[in-house]
Amino acid sequence: MPHVTNDGAGPAPSPDRPLRVAVIGAGPAGIYAADALTRQDAVPVAVDLVDRLPTPFGLVRHGIAPDHPKMRAIRDTLYRSLDHPLVRFVGNVDVGRDLSLEELRRHVDAVIYTYGASVDRRLGIDGENLPGSLAATDLVAWYCGHPDADRERVEDAVRHARSVVVVGVGNVALDVARVLARAPEELDPTEMPQHVLDALAASPVEEITVLGRRGPAQAAFTTQELRELGELAGATVLVDPKDLELEPDAEERAAADRVVARNLAAMRDWIDHVPEPGRPTLTLRFFSRPARLIGSDRVEAVEIERTAVDGDGRAVGTGELEVLPADLVIRSVGYRGVSLPGLPVDERTGTVPNEGGRALRDGAPSPGEYVAGWIKRGPTGVVGTNKHDARETVAHLLADATDGTLRVGGPVDDLVQTLVARGAEPVLLDDWRAIDAAEVALGATRGRARTTLHEWDSLLAAVRAAAASAG
Ligand code: NAP
């Protein structure tokens, strides 16, 4: 579908007047998009990689569990893409607050939205708003040191958490269950802020139950993450052997799917496990969905309904109810993207409508607007999935620039100058390096490689201190 030009009919991009692209969201999708833009020389480009936070890396920093340091190390690869002469990281900029999307668009020829899916999906059951009921996103933000984490609410919940129920059997559910089950010495070397380590060490967790509304063959987690549960130093993993007994045809289908077959094999290795006195348990329980959360002032229990999986693979209730004691219930049932002011999302999917990354407005490609990552395709896949995804989007953007449907507009103001003139405090890559150094220095005070700065004030103080000492 041909696009119209940005402003009618500008010239083709040139080294003197490159195609100016703003990428909104400096997580993996945004960084991979910037990388794809700078790895070609057919279309001269200049990229502003804008983020609301003063730090880049999105869910690599504030999503991947800190007890997975090898996975978090992808940050070093992403950093190399950021540290490119044609890419400018512009953090601490809230599009909608510091400048409107419309104003931003006057500074660039094209925008790629890569701001992810930040909001939790809800269960829609009674009791979900009681204290002691959290979204996995709340807990993850807190233990990763996100500056917007609701410390008070999460720490209150963690302090009471003797019996924990996690709803959902995806990788995020396993992350939160595993982090809560870890022995303090397993978490101590991580980048978690000290108050998080202290709160987790003091939490009274005795039992964690992870609930799958369908069977073990339909679980969304991956085998590596599953197997890790069996290696926890401080907890015993349990599974009900009956949940693992499949009908012959289901067993045949399961055997044909490598991930499912490996998952089942991993869980079958645990069927002889028994609880040990004084040692926390982590139980995987399938064919169970929460019907309501029970409690007056805070969560005390979850009523669960036994389910069966129908011929279409859906969970159907059997009417058989059971009450499970719980002081903390964590729903981990997926994420949802929300709109930026001025950019509608499809409420049903939580994504920006698009065709291969070309953003659609009223069903038609919107000139100069593109999407990549979770806000494009929904909250699926691993970090690397975003590479292919961003490349597809950028290929379409470059095709539009090459065939003349996307042209450069007139002279544009510099985004950073505009922001500074408005009193905003954009954080550039050098400023991030100051934050990085402050985190490494903070970690060193306790013999760790790094400790995450978790407050807006401390993040920006690191930037200001470095600027002041640079004169
Ligand atoms: P997910 O993989 O989509 O899992 C969501 C889980 O919630 C599924 O088990 C789903 O069950 C369940 N669920 C949904 N609605 C429910 C409801 N109303 N009641 C009960 N259960 C419900 O999502 P995620 O765990 O948030 O992960 C998001 C993405 O990040 C995934 O691609 C994941 O692999 C990735 N990730 C990867 C890692 C890693 O590689 N280590 C770590 C974290 C996240 P149904 O299947 O029955 O719908």
Neighbours of 55 (CB within 10 A): 24
Query: Is a pLDDT exceeding 70 seen at residue 7?
Result: no
Regarding whether 171 and 85 lie in a shared domain, the answer is no
In a domain, 415, yes or no: yes
**DSSP codes of every residue in 420-435:** HHTT---B-HHHHHHH
Residues of the domain holding 271? 122-333
In a domain, 453, yes or no: no
Q: If you average pLDDT over every residue of the chain, what do you get?
A: 95
Environment class of 282 (CB within 10 Å of its CB; exposed 0-12, middle 13-18, buried 19+):
buried
Please say which residue of 314, 333, 352 terminates a domain. 333
Upper half-sphere CA count for residue 290 (Cβ side, 13 Å): 28
- pLDDT band, very low/low/confident/very high, at 40 (cuts 50, 70, 90): very high
Query: Per-residue pLDDT tens for 56-104?
Result: 999 999 999 999 999 999 999 999 999 999 999 999 999 999 999 999 9
Query: Per-residue pLDDT tens for 157-174?
Result: 999 999 999 999 999 999
In a domain, 312, yes or no: yes
CA distances from 460 to 56, 400, 424, 433, 435 (A): 14, 39, 12, 12, 8
Whether 380 is in the pocket of ligand 1, judged by its Cβ within 6 Å, is yes
Query: Per-residue pLDDT tens for 99-141?
Result: 999 999 999 999 999 999 989 999 999 999 999 999 999 999 9
Atom number, ligand 1, closest to the C-alpha of residue 333? 7
In a domain, 9, yes or no: no
Upper half-sphere CA count for residue 253 (Cβ side, 13 Å): 10
CATH of the domain at 249: 3.50.50.60
Give me the residue label for tokens 């269960």: 123
Regarding whether 265 and 358 lie in a shared domain, the answer is no
Regarding whether 377 and 288 lie in a shared domain, the answer is no
CA 376/CA 349 separation, integer angstroms:
10
In a domain, 437, yes or no: no
Tokens standing for residue 116: 């992810």
Q: Is 20 in contact with 106 (CB distance < 8 Å)?
A: no
Environment class of 64 (CB within 10 Å of its CB; exposed 0-12, middle 13-18, buried 19+):
buried
Please say which residue of 303, 333, 363 terminates a domain. 333
Regarding whether 346 and 297 lie in a shared domain, the answer is no
CA 393/CA 387 separation, integer angstroms:
10
**For helices 429-444 and 456-469, angle between their N-to-C axes, nearest 10 degrees:** 110
CATH of the domain at 74: 3.40.50.720
User: Model-level pTM?
Assistant: 0.95
What is the model's pLDDT at position 254? 87
CA 222/CA 244 separation, integer angstroms:
17
Rounded distance from Cα 383 to ligand 1 centre (Å): 15
What is the model's pLDDT at position 407? 81
In a domain, 389, yes or no: yes
The residue whose CA has the least distance to atom 9 of ligand 1 is 169
- pLDDT band, very low/low/confident/very high, at 9 (cuts 50, 70, 90): low
Say how far residue 262 (Cα) sits from the centre of its chain.
26
Site to substitute for ligand 1 among 172, 292, 376, most atoms within 8 A of C-beta:
172
Query: Is a pLDDT exceeding 90 seen at residue 361?
Result: yes
Regarding whether 220 and 350 lie in a shared domain, the answer is no
**For helices 151-159 and 194-202, angle between their N-to-C axes, nearest 10 degrees:** 20
Whether 382 is in the pocket of ligand 1, judged by its Cβ within 6 Å, is yes
What is the model's pLDDT at position 2? 29
CA 277/CA 268 separation, integer angstroms:
23
In a domain, 112, yes or no: yes
The residue whose CA has the least distance to atom 38 of ligand 1 is 171
Regarding whether 356 and 269 lie in a shared domain, the answer is no
Regarding whether 273 and 368 lie in a shared domain, the answer is no
Regarding whether 296 and 254 lie in a shared domain, the answer is yes
Regarding whether 279 and 140 lie in a shared domain, the answer is yes
- Residue whose C-alpha is closest to residue 119's, from 140, 144, 88: 140
Regarding whether 373 and 261 lie in a shared domain, the answer is no
The residue whose CA has the least distance to atom 13 of ligand 1 is 333
Average pLDDT over residues 230-244: 96
Query: Per-residue pLDDT tens for 373-415?
Result: 999 999 999 999 999 999 999 999 999 999 988 988 777 899 9
- pLDDT band, very low/low/confident/very high, at 1 (cuts 50, 70, 90): very low
In a domain, 466, yes or no: no
Regarding whether 93 and 76 lie in a shared domain, the answer is yes
Please say which residue of 281, 306, 333 terminates a domain. 333
Bridge partners, 294 (sequence order): 301
Regarding whether 387 and 287 lie in a shared domain, the answer is no
**How many structural domains compose the chain?**
2
